[in-house]
Structure 1
Amino acid sequence: MKRLEDYQEIVGDEVIFRIHNKMTKLYGKHVVHVNSTYQGGGVAEMLSSLVPLMNDIGLDAGWRILHGNPDFFGITKKFHNALQGDPLHFTHIKRDLYVNNNEDFSQFTHLDHDACIIHDPQPLPLVRFYKKRQPWIWRCHIDLTDPNQRLWNFLKSFILKYDLVIVSNEKYLRKDLPVKQIIIPPAIDPLSPKNKPLTEYTIQKTMKKFRVPLNKPIITQISRFDKWKDPEGVIDIYREVRKAIDCRLVLCGSMASDDPEGYKIYSKIMKKHDALIKKRELILLTTENSILVNALQRQANVVIQKSTREGFGLTVTEALWKGKPVIASNIGGIPLQIQDGESGFLIDPQDKKGTVEKVISLLKNPEMGIEMGEKGKEHVRKNFLIVRLLENYLDLLAEVIK
């Protein structure tokens, strides 16, 4: 289990002292986080670091995983997409299954803590099935700029029972929501297996284990196989780049239990691009392995994040932390992380030609990528590490827990 003191060398003495000092208002308090999966995706990764750190400094913090069957997660995936602008055939069956699943979970999960922090739409209705004795906080990690209005109106019936809503970006604040809203950007753990320093030997050994040849420059995107991450668009970019520079594309994404669409998208790519895959020009990896992601990001010459919608984009944060040049869509929380032309490149996800030119430029000028990577890493150190997220939560909890 990590301790706050383990981060002292990274963030400095003042930050560590400040966190311990803020904790004095919260001794003896008990909080709980609830989300829908233990692994796969940025929420689970953040909680796996944040909850132990909360406990280390004296806050009693728990973590509950919402149980659900495949039908439930199929529906909540549709909800996730609809909150980001997709059309939705919203039926009473979908609504009832969604609500009833949360009610069933509430029957065997006791939430009698001093504060309840509910992550994303899947466990949102839980607030209806408890007698509120404490503040309830909804932490939404999704882009809410253009939600399906019918679904949003339905979900608001639950959100209005909450005391506070947290979003990742100023753009996601909702004028039609009277509940108090605050902004807390996500963060990465620099000491997690996915982000900790690796020896060159470990990197090479990992690449060999997962059959990633190193005889060509590597372009990679680390993301779920999700339509909003546009893996097909990344492959189109790669096909154009390789006309100018012989290189290899690696798409790496875990299959989270709450994302049933991932397998379908992965299978479609396998069939469509079979020739490239057989020649190991295009490599698809789905193993849930943090060291693999770490090694791949460190080995990559260019990291892409060609999302068409993005709540924040922690894979961008991870790559920047490893000092890599990143080319990413100018959407969601990504512009908070990249200063265009200085610590990476921001792109219009529809601008194929411009993206291809930027990838080629970085492959031809590795010294430019090194310079960008150094600036990007320092920006992450100051703004997007787990210790900052911990401090944000302490400030919040000190305000809402009486």
Structure 2
Amino acid sequence: MQSQEAKYMAVVKWVMEQIQSGVFKTGDKLPSENELSREFELSRQTVRHAIDVLEQKNMLTRIRGSGTYLGVGIREVRKERYQNIAVISTYVDSYIFPPVLKGIEKTLSKAGYTMQVAFTGNRIEKEGEILDKLLEKGFIDGLIVEPAKSALPNPNLDSYRRLAKRQLPVLFFNSSYPQLQFPCVALHDELVARKAVEYLIRAGHRRIGGIFKCDDGQGHLRYLGFIKAMKQAGLGIDRRGIVWIDTESQNDLEAWSDYLFNRLKDCTALVCYNDEVAYLLSGICMKRGILIPEDLSLVSIDNSELASLGEVSITSFPHPMEALGKKAAENMIRMIENPYFDGNYLFDSEAVERNSIRVRV
């Protein structure tokens, strides 16, 4: 007589064989408990135990009132449609966001969707208010959002989880909260920062510093790329030459100028978090009699109009801007149509060369 373990293991092994052979794929619905009971001539209790075991192995997801599906975090396709997408952005007037929002709007409109937009000012309390309103009376098919201060602990994560439980797709852009497993469309920040350091190394620089943002996830990824490139080149990392700023100090960089240049005085080149930082820094350098690129070379990220506005135009790696918005909207539409679609996408970038780099012999 078969043991209880052997009985339920027959179902477990059969499901795993179907997955390995490609008969079952992620998102496929498992036969009902009644169907498995008849097929294996087992009690529903034994079949239920087998499903429990497979669920503990992260192979199945139960959806109440719908059934059991292959994969983790699977959700049932929503039937109602409002043809409306909510978009939350940190800023409305920064050089990055108007093109991003333009790309989102054009793509959604072409597909028959309307767009409702809200702005957080990169403040988590404002983000929370917006999410509460969406949860209360959203009438939306999905949410595209740039997280507020994505590198810091955030009290709004449960609100995002509640949206997901309502089977609403959520897609981040530019950055994401690491605690949430939602897809993200962004610049490949780590890779681009590595390329920026490598660009300076090819120009003969060895004492390279960096200014990074501490409260946004992009800053941490760009710092990671910076460190990896320096180590790959066998260069020592002077911790004094790495400066962290936040959103507020970036807006008043000149007030920190004594501190900045005390930290950066031994650097011949600098990777700037973005064009705004590079532009402000170059203006402070000019007031202090520090010549760019003769005394200090700068390379930046975004390739915005700010890269060309200063006394010396700045070499910069382009942010995809409108293309990023277009991709985010395209991926959101696909996530609505297919809940199992992977909406992640990272953009590469290459330097646009200008006059801010001195080649050292």
TM-score with structure 1 setting the length: 0.33
Q: Which has the larger radius of gyration?
A: 2
